[in-house]
Structure formats: C-alpha cells, structure tokens
Amino acid sequence: MPFHYPPPPGTVLICRFPPPGATPTGEMTKTRPVIVVSRRLKGRPGLVSIVPVSMTAPRQEARWHVRVPAEAMPPGWGEREGSRWAKCDMAMVVSLERLSQARTQAKRGAPFSPLSRVDEATLYEIRKALSFVFELS
C-alpha cells in the first residue's frame, strides 16, 4: 500500500525500484530499503527525497557511504547478517507510490509494523554525507 503523505526524515521504508536490466547501467534497481531525507515541502505533493540502502558493503568505503544499524531496518530486512549501507551518492526523488511499509503480522493482527527509523546520530551522518556529495560544505 503506497503512502499518501511524506513520512518524516529518518523513516526507513521499502522502495520498489525497477528490476535489474530495466534501467540504464548504474541506476538503482530492485526492491530495497530506503531512508527518507527530506521534510514535507509545499508544492511537491506525492514526492519525497530518499537515500537507498544496500545490504552489500561497498568495495571501498567512501565519505558518501554511511553504515546503518540492522536494528533500524524494517522487519524482514534486519535479520540477515552483515552491515547495511546508506548510499548517499545515489540520493534521489521518488514518488510516494513507490514506497511502502514492511508487511509483517504484528501480535495484535495488525497488517503493518510500526514505522522503522534510523537514530539521530545515523541521520546526522547521512546528512553530512549528502552535504559532501552535493558540495554544500
């Protein structure tokens, strides 16, 4: 179920990117977690800025890679061993229609778990990395 409002910065959601081979080389592909990095902006209904998360460590760690704690991942995405990495060099704007909350069966039978979020320290590091990528500092 897509979102109808922009979630707050730091929210971790699932984004449906096109499958591998359906986009030009180097663009983001496949369904994966993303971290919302923009606030709700007037005049941008239905759009939100995100940073994709990779379950594969970068070949060479750089200033635009930020380690994301597994505990911040939505249910079903945090259980696998290994690090998660915010790929701040791949920041982009996506439609809310691409985003969804992780589906799990909660104890009371609710179809969704509470929204996952990164902690303030991780969000700060992501913002620092974005500042570097976009030459804002």
**What's this model's pTM, rounded to 2 decimal places?**
0.89
- Does 42 fall in a domain? no
pLDDT score at 25:
81
- Does 22 fall in a domain? no
pLDDT score at 33:
96
- Does 96 fall in a domain? yes
- Does 21 fall in a domain? no
Given a contact cutoff of 8 angstroms between Cβ atoms, the answer to whether 127 and 86 are in contact is no
* Distance, CA of 135 to CA of 48 (rounded, Å): 21
Task: Give the residue-averaged pLDDT of 97-120.
Answer: 75
CATH, residue 121: 2.30.30.110
* Distance, CA of 29 to CA of 16 (rounded, Å): 8
pLDDT score at 117:
94
Residues 40-97 have pLDDT tens digits of: 888 888 999 999 999 999 999 999 999 999 999 988 888 878 889 999 999 999 999 9
Structural domain harbouring 89: 1-15+30-36+48-54+65-100+114-136
* Distance, CA of 36 to CA of 47 (rounded, Å): 11
Q: Where is pLDDT greater, at 125 or 41?
A: 125
User: Coil, helix or strand for 76?
Assistant: coil
Domain total for the chain? 1
- Does 20 fall in a domain? no
- Does 69 fall in a domain? yes
- Does 41 fall in a domain? no
- DSSP strands (E only) in 11-131: 11-16, 31-36, 47-54, 65-68, 84-87, 92-95, 99-100, 116-117
Task: Give the residue-averaged pLDDT of 15-40.
Answer: 89
